[in-house]
């Protein structure tokens, strides 16, 4: 069995009693994470410093999943109500949103 050494830790959410649902590597040595407080966070995977936590606005309510796309420059997250949002990490903004199973799509 392989043993891992802890390199750092932090409590990235600004709220109490929050846990991370999913975490994935993204471009520029970053990590994307979704939390039980419906936050989409960006962290520096080299330091995990709280001062470097980025919060992307516009994530769906009831976050359930996180996927990294476009060679780590985009993240896609979905909520429990079927809402899906695509974020472009290069601009730090939401690029698109839609409801799964529906044709109504908003591209920014």
User: SS3 string of 19-31?
Assistant: CEEEEEEECCCEE
What residue ranges define each of the domains in the chain, with the CATH number in brackets?
A: 20-107 (2.40.10.480)
pTM value is 0.78
**Better-scored residue on pLDDT, 42 or 6:** 42
pLDDT exceeds 60 at position 103: no
Q: Identify the H or E element spanning 85.
A: strand 83-88
Question: Measuring CA to CA, which residue among 2, 106, 52, 60 is closest to residue 75?
Answer: 60
| Summary mean pLDDT of the chain | 85
Give the pLDDT score at 32.
93
């Amino acid at each position: 069995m392989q043993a891992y050494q802890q390199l750092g830790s932090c409590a990235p959410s600004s709220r109490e009693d929050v846990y991370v649902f999913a975490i994935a590597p993204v471009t520029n040595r970053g990590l994307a994470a979704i939390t039980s407080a419906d936050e989409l966070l960006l962290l520096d995977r080299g330091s995990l410093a709280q001062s470097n936590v980025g919060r992307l606005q516009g994530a769906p309510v009831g976050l359930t999943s996180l996927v990294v796309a476009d060679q780590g420059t985009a993240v896609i997250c979905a909520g429990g109500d079927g809402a899906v949002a695509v974020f472009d990490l290069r601009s730090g903004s939401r690029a698109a949103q839609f409801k799964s199973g529906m044709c109504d799509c908003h591209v920014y």
